Amino acid sequence: EAQVTQNPRYLITVTGKKLTVTCSQNMNHEYMSWYRQDPGLGLRQIYYSMNVEVTDKGDVPEGYKVSRKEKRNFPLILESPSPNQTSLYFCASRPGAGASYNEQFFGPGTRLTVL
């Protein structure tokens, strides 16, 4: 089944404790992205990657890091989480950045609480 998977689905942590949220897609998509969803704000892009070893900042990148060492994986790293990073996080992928209107496929989400 074609899908985007994220782990963990739920995470409660404390301020300053480094964490990684994994994202993997099995559709051989070039483009991957991370969003955070907050009430009243919709989804906002954190980082995106147009291909392996190519990443760039989205609209809200502060406090986050990403890497794209393999095509299928795009982990999100919070090196020193803070309470304002408590949110619902989604990973998404699409076939290629060059195609203008390709659908983005979203993972099931990771609900993160930082105490």
Half-sphere exposure of 43 toward its Cβ, with a 13 Å CA cutoff?
Answer: 12
Write down the least CB distance from residue 80 to another protein, Å.
26
- Closer to another protein by CB, 18 or 57: give it: 57
Write down the least CB distance from residue 114 to another protein, Å.
21
Give Dmax over CA atoms of the chain in angstroms: 41
- Regarding 61 and contact with another protein (CB under 8 A), the answer is no
Count CB neighbours of 11 within 10 A.
Answer: 16
Q: For residues 76 and 67, is the Cβ–Cβ distance under 8 A?
A: no
Summarize as ranges the residues that interact with another protein (CB under 8 A). Answer: 4, 31, 33, 35, 40-45, 48, 50, 56, 58-59, 90, 92, 94, 97-104, 106-109
